Amino acid sequence: MSKVSIVRCPDYSDTKKAIAEALDLLGGLEDIINPGDCVLLKPNILAATAPEAAATTHPAVVAAMCEFVLEAGGKPIVGDGAGISHPGATAKALKASGIEEAARKAGAKVVNFETAGFTKVKVPDPLQFRELYLAKPVLEADVVISLPKLKTHELTYYTGAVKNFFGALPLNYRKKAHYLGKRELFGEAVADIYSVIRPRFAVMDGVMGMEGKGPSHGDPINSGLILASPDCVALDIVAAELIGFDPLKIPTTAGALKKGFGNHCPVVVGTPFKEARMKFKPSHGGISTAPPVLTRHLGKFFTIHPKINQRKCTRCGACYLNCSPHAVEQAEDGSFRINPEKCILCYCCRELCPNNAVEMKKSFLAKLLTSDF
Ligand code: SF4
Ligand code: SF4
């Protein structure tokens, strides 16, 4: 039986005390973290917004968890990949969210999934993806802990501990998941990610949640809670029901349960469920009414591909050596080219190029739908 702890935390000045109580109610982190373990803490760093916007996990939650990992003998590493609308988005989000500074001050290493590289993995019992590319720091950690934000989501209604791992994907796999065209199928794709990462614990920032047009443009709401569980799916079931959603209709929860993760009937400890209950305004939209086949077809026309500007390129080879799927290829004349068929759109090459020679080439549809960068 999975336990989920709920603890009142009216504002962020009480964060560390509230998380300590939430962890104590579950027996602490000592059974999960062995001395010397590398512990990847995965907050939600969706966008370059200030903590007050409530789109990202609050830095106080991240800092407190770094301290608890250190106390348990682990080595905290904090990382995420932002909702990548353009190269460099994660670096900006790490700063604007206050997470980079808070994590460093608390003694953690900070990693940017956009530039840390991706590894190809096989998905066990796949529902949507037989293979995936996932951010290396998540795969290399001894222990992974989800630090989600309590928010509504236009596509999955609610976003929490399981959906949080979508940030470990490079852009073209994010696109593939979105272009599945149905909420249920998207939830199954997220469950595929979850089944590879297998997080060991979750602590949710529900102090200031987001209602309405989540996950990025909703309204902050003072929900005043910290939730924790060794079972991310159970935590999502409790949190979604807490804010007024049918938990089994959350596509990511349904997908994870379908793959055999989590528990339908978690036990709540700490603040009684009835006392913590509230109502979040839902987020509307998020899914095209077009048939999935059309969505997938249109998706092919939305591309933002990196291209090497041969006039600027000094052939240093940094992009070639660091491209995880080996999409940067060397021609006989020594020049480097990007093979769009192999490119997973992680933008590492652009980040790493010392000469700003990797430029972005947008399709007509992408030019129409995005602002310039
Ligand atoms: S070519 Fe660049 S964007 Fe494409 S996969 Fe390689 S490093 Fe990533
Ligand atoms: S990193 Fe930049 S300069 Fe170096 S080979 Fe790649 S494109 Fe050329």
Q: CATH 3.30.70.20: which residues of the chain?
A: 301-369
Determine the pLDDT at residue 372.
43
DSSP secondary structure letter of residue 218: S
Residue 324's pLDDT band, with cuts at 50, 70 and 90, is: confident
Nearest CA to ligand 2 atom 3: 313
Structural tokens at position 280: 């979040």
Tens of pLDDT, residue by residue over 96-140, are 999 999 999 999 999 999 889 999 999 999 999 999 999 999 999
Architecture of the domain defined by 301-369: 2-Layer Sandwich (3.30)
Q: CATH 3.40.50.11440: which residues of the chain?
A: 3-276
Residue 350's pLDDT band, with cuts at 50, 70 and 90, is: confident
| Max intra-chain CA distance, the chain | 70
| CB contact set of 311 (below 8 Å; sequence gap of 6+) | none
Residue 308 CA: which ligand is closest? Answer: 2
Phi, psi (rounded to 5 degrees) for 88: 90, 0
Q: What is the mean pLDDT of residues 186-199?
A: 98
Q: Does the pLDDT of residue 373 top 50, yes or no? A: no
Pairwise CA distance, residues 232 & 235, whole Å: 5
CA–centroid distance, residue 183 to ligand 1 (Å): 28
Residues with CB under 6 A from ligand 1: 306, 323, 325, 327-328, 338, 343-349
Considering the entire predicted model, what is its pTM? 0.86
CA 79 to chain centre: 9
CATH number for the domain whose boundaries are 3-276: 3.40.50.11440
Q: Does the pLDDT of residue 40 top 60, yes or no? A: yes
